[in-house]
Structure 1
Amino acid sequence: MASDVRSSGDRFRIPKAGISTASALVALVLLAGCGGHAKGVMTPVALAQPSNTSQVDMLVATTRQPSGDPATLFSGERSPTLSMTDVAVSIPPDSRRAPGTVQWPRKLPPNPETDFAVTRVREMASEDEARTWFRAHNKGGHVLLFVHGFNNRYEDGVFRLAQIVHDSGAQATPMLFTWPSRARVFDYNYDKESTNYSRTALEDTLRTLANAPNVKDVTILAHSMGTWLTMEALRQMGIRDGKIAPKIENVILASPDIDLDVFAKQWTDMGDARPKFTIFVSQDDRALALSRLISGDVSRLGAIDPSAEPYRTQLETAGITAIDLTKVETDDGLHHGKFAESPEIVQLIGQRIIKGQTLTDSEITLGEGITAVVAGTAKNVGTVAAATITAPVTIIEGRGTPPKKVRLDETLASDERSQRAAP
């Protein structure tokens, strides 16, 4: 079976024309230019009273080494122990910021009326404190756990989660899992190894959440290299426990930087009882183009065309919903953060996916040009009018009866065998 999975890789690939050295160099320049904002923003500031700002309270778990500096809290180096911190972030009034944006301060200290600003930092000394925090911030028992991607400082993950929670309107308790990224573009391999270093800590965190009596369900939202960490943690849980904890109901992989062959194995190793998976993909993702170039020219999951074969059939058979954001326009020059920077997409995450709703209901608000491949349905192909968008959204669905459940690696291997048998 393992050889079949490996042989499926040639079938499960994006044409080489989809990437060039020039586009990869553009991505490298853009990546190197990331993080040009103010550094060291974790020192809390006081809010003026009264204030028109909004506040997002989150619990942050990290495998990073403490920095000893209150302005940064944690570095990009690895810690043998998991640290927990209560963090509050103030967000400027909606009249002063565009949805989908993180307004970094131009100077320090930040001005909460115009900038994202940390207003509280409190280290958790024990698991009991974390449990108390969860009881105080319980939102119907729903938890949103965010796992950031490559080239992120501690504060990057904090501000991004605050933005997602605020702009999505998600009625869920926010939690960030931040792993040791050095936030340097040329430390890609260090960051990748840091995800491997952190997978057991994430697995334990997920198990703790699943065992908490006041937690009803958990949605994992992972981005870029953080999707690898998420898949590895879930794979370990599936192997160790024989199943994924039932309370982990939704897994959202945004721009997943995962080798397609490896994803098939991770998926299989989880076992049969898996959460509902949704992936956000984009064929113009320059960061994933660069990742492919430095990873042996192997296709990345986040760059496939889900409406093309063999991907459409494979996704339908596996029961994975793929949302194609290629035509969605944001200010992200890398086209790598569309899931958070498009107001329509971030609202979709908060208002529908986290609640376990499907994308095939009659009332669905999405941006123009988004294609959703919805797995395991029996409805006909049709269009769903968006409530706030003039153009309809095309929904591509499986016809006829729902396909039987099969293993993803068997599906890929079968595809490969059929291709070899073709004249």
Structure 2
Amino acid sequence: MRLTIAAPLLLSVALLVAGCSRPPDLVGIDNPEHPAESLPDVSRHRLFIITTREASEVVGALFSAERAPELGLASVDVTIPPNHEVGKVERPRRLPPDPRTEFAVVDPAIYKGESAFLSELNKELMKRKAGDRRILLFIHGYNTTTSDAILHLSQFVEDTGFTGVPVLFTWASAAKTPRYVYDLNSALVAREKLGEMANILAASRAEQVDILAHSMGTFLTMEGLVEAQQRGTLGTRGMINTVMLASPDIDIDLFRTQIAQLPRPVLNRMFLLVSKDDKALRVSRLIAGGVPRVGATDAAELEKLGLTVIDLSEIEDSSSGSHSKFTGSPEVVQLIGAGLNNVGAFSERSPQLRELIVGVPIRILGN
């Protein structure tokens, strides 16, 4: 029996490794011939970073896969090329990036303390009008570098038209397919820092926070919400607007216990994006001894938990594969953008959202 489980697991991991030649890190690498700052027709996003990673001296990395004892605070500017297509990341395969046709990540800044970080974050927030002073907090998943997370968040912000300020929480993923257990433990190490991060964001001038977590990042997010509930701080600041869990890599039995500990007002703001064809979660299930993962569970079963479920199982046009349809499918990105911009908060009863999903194989259950 051990051999029948191990063989497909090792084959799946080998195929993933063979199919994933990671492009280079690019943080802070500008193009001397075509500097990003000199191009007027690119989109630009200032992105703030809170991390449990150690700083890195490797060119382009900014932060490493090593775990840091204290939070790191930083920001970068990301430029999006004019040829950008919704649902895609035009990532350079060689350096330096060409910002005319590729994403570029420039002007990295490391902040030595919370006050300096908050000062810059507040400057960005106050550039927005009242009502738009919102934060989109992104918590990435397994097998992710700092560059990967920055690019995915920037693409998501661009494609959804989010008008607030993006903040990335990046934990110490090894960014290597076989190191799943290291990543899981890194997520657990990062859990104790979520309260500290929440205090920093609460001290800003943000009016609301939308949380978007992906894959193993959803496990970290749920653990953080449960801990906040146990401390008696969850929801007391009134800042959480939505909690979006994309492709949750969480043991379904653990998820039920997490849900049972959270108050109804928080659950009413929670949205699960799931897909039964999620190949990465099939591998996670094998690693977990066959226990189903939330992100590949039948949507109707999850709806019984009292949550709103967005079923993406029939979406086939994701450029980033079955595990990242939340960024890789133009239709899904449009849907999430509409929800983030408060068009009915993903309710099928909203006429605007009904228009978006006409002819698109997306099901919204609950709400």
Q: How does the TM-score come out when normalised to structure 1?
A: 0.77
**How many Å separate the matches in 2 of 1:28 and 1:356?**
40
Which residue in 2 is equivalent to 1:353?
Answer: 340
- One-letter identity of the residue aligned with 2:43: S
The alignment covers a number of residue pairs equal to: 347
More divergent stretch after superposition (272-281 vs 120-129): 272-281
Which residue in 2 is equivalent to 1:290?
Answer: 283
1:83/1:242 Cα in 2 relative to 1: closer, same or farther (>3 Å)? closer
Aligned-partner SS, 1:204: helix
1:331/1:370 Cα in 2 relative to 1: closer, same or farther (>3 Å)? closer
Which residue in 2 is equivalent to 1:341?
Answer: 328
Q: How does the TM-score come out when normalised to structure 2?
A: 0.88
How far did 1:210 drift? 2.9
Residues 1:59 and 2:59 aligned together: no
Which residue in 1 is equivalent to 2:116?
Answer: 129
- One-letter identity of the residue aligned with 1:239: Q
Aligned match for 1:88, one of 69, 77, 82: 77
Q: Deviations over 1:333-389 (max 9, x none)?
A: 7510001111121122223235373322112113611111023xxxxxxxxxxxxxx
More divergent stretch after superposition (339-348 vs 267-276): 267-276
Question: Which aligned pairs between 1:17-56 and structure 2 lie closer than 5 A?
Answer: 27-33=12-18, 35-45=20-30, 46-47=35-36, 49-56=38-45
Structure 1 unaligned runs (5+)? Answer: 1-19, 376-423
**How many Å separate the matches in 1 of 2:120 and 2:324?**
30
Which residue in 2 is equivalent to 1:326?
Answer: 313
More divergent stretch after superposition (362-371 vs 245-254): 362-371
1:126/1:242 Cα in 2 relative to 1: closer, same or farther (>3 Å)? closer
1:302/1:204 Cα in 2 relative to 1: closer, same or farther (>3 Å)? same
Q: Are the counterparts in 2 of residues 102 and 159 from structure 1 also a CA contact under 8 Å?
A: yes
**How many Å separate the matches in 1 of 2:233 and 2:77?**
37
Structure 2 unaligned runs (5+)? Answer: none
- Percent identity at matched positions? 35
Q: Are the counterparts in 2 of residues 44 and 121 from structure 1 also a CA contact under 8 Å?
A: no
Alignment RMSD (CA, Å): 2.1
1:48/1:58 Cα in 2 relative to 1: closer, same or farther (>3 Å)? closer
How far did 1:128 drift? 1.2
Q: Deviations over 1:240-265 (max 9, x none)?
A: 12533421121000000001111111
1:48/1:67 Cα in 2 relative to 1: closer, same or farther (>3 Å)? closer
Q: Deviations over 1:291-350 (max 9, x none)?
A: 01110211111011213xx443x14xx2x1101101111345751000111112112222
**How many Å separate the matches in 1 of 2:196 and 2:20?**
30
**How many Å separate the matches in 2 of 1:26 and 1:354?**
42
Question: Which aligned pairs between 1:144-163 and structure 2 lie closer than 5 A?
Answer: 144-163=136-155
1:237/1:322 Cα in 2 relative to 1: closer, same or farther (>3 Å)? same
- One-letter identity of the residue aligned with 1:194: S
**How many Å separate the matches in 2 of 1:49 and 1:101?**
24
- One-letter identity of the residue aligned with 1:102: V
How far did 1:69 drift? 2.5
Q: Are the counterparts in 1 of residues 75 and 109 from structure 2 also a CA contact under 8 Å?
A: yes
**How many Å separate the matches in 2 of 1:22 and 1:347?**
39
1:198/1:302 Cα in 2 relative to 1: closer, same or farther (>3 Å)? same
Q: Are the counterparts in 2 of residues 30 and 333 from structure 1 also a CA contact under 8 Å?
A: no
Q: Are the counterparts in 2 of residues 27 and 287 from structure 1 also a CA contact under 8 Å?
A: no
Residues 1:278 and 2:282 aligned together: no
Aligned match for 2:207, one of 200, 205, 216: 216
Q: Are the counterparts in 2 of residues 243 and 273 from structure 1 also a CA contact under 8 Å?
A: no
Task: Find the structure with the greater CA-based Rg.
Answer: 1
1:346/1:21 Cα in 2 relative to 1: closer, same or farther (>3 Å)? farther
1:304/1:273 Cα in 2 relative to 1: closer, same or farther (>3 Å)? same
Structure 1 segments, 4+ long, off by >6 Å, are 20-23
